[in-house]
Amino acid sequence: MNEARAAIRYAKATLDYAVEQKAAAKVEADMRNIADVIAGNAELQGIIASPVVKTTGKKAALEEIFKGSHQITLGLINTLKENKRIEMLQEVAYKYIVLFEKMKGEDVAYVTSAVPLTAELEKKILAQVKKITGNSVSIENKIDENIVGGFILRVGDLQYDASVASKLNGLKREFTNSL
């Protein structure tokens, strides 16, 4: 099964159960924490992705790191371990956040740029994204100097890459293919 589709299914099942248990907002806070911690820690990403580290070791490490999390969140980690899909945790967290925001009638636009967005540019992005999605939108700006310039916009499952690094990679591929 496609990894993204599987992540959506896990996220949807978790959200449905969290709503039923009236804990959707708490689990959403946990998912944001999980996504941020994993994204910000290359060593943890390596452990999760490593075929050498046993699944029980990965689960134990994740439960220790996220020990203050809601039982539903810990249950998700256990389910992913049991189904040998623990490496999908970060993607499931992202999908949960998107589904939760949609449920609330809001969208989050993740904008990755080389420098912080100006207030004027932020307003323009908000207007365009609201026009596309029809929902109220908030922006989360992440700074990544590796994209050199431009930006990467991600709203739900949509992604628009207008980064200089992406354009340079495209030129490099074109050049090497033409040789």
Q: Where in the chain are the domains? A: 3-101, 106-178
Mean pLDDT of 3-23: 91
Class for the domain spanning 106-178: alpha beta
Q: Is the pTM of this model over 0.85?
A: no
d(CA 140, CA 150): 16
Specify the pLDDT at position 71. Answer: 93
Specify the pLDDT at position 76. Answer: 92
**CATH tag for 3-101 (out of 1.20.1050.40, 1.10.520.20, 3.30.420.40, 1.20.1740.10):** 1.10.520.20
Specify the pLDDT at position 150. Answer: 85
Per-residue pLDDT band for 28 (boundaries 50, 70, 90) equals very high
> pLDDT, tens digit, for every residue of 139-175?
888 888 888 888 888 887 778 888 888 888 888 888 8
d(CA 8, CA 98): 10
DSSP 148: -
Distances (CA, A) of 84 to 2, 58, 81: 15, 11, 5
Give the torsion sign (CA, 178, 149, 98, 40).
Answer: positive
Nearest residue to 31 (alpha-carbon basis) of 90, 82, 104, 110: 90
Specify the pLDDT at position 129. Answer: 84
The DSSP secondary structure of 143-166, one letter per residue, reads: E-GGG-SSEEEEETTEEEE--HHH
Same fold, 3-101 and 106-178: no
Mean pLDDT of 131-146: 82
> Are 99 and 11 spatial neighbours (Cβ–Cβ below 8 Å)?
yes
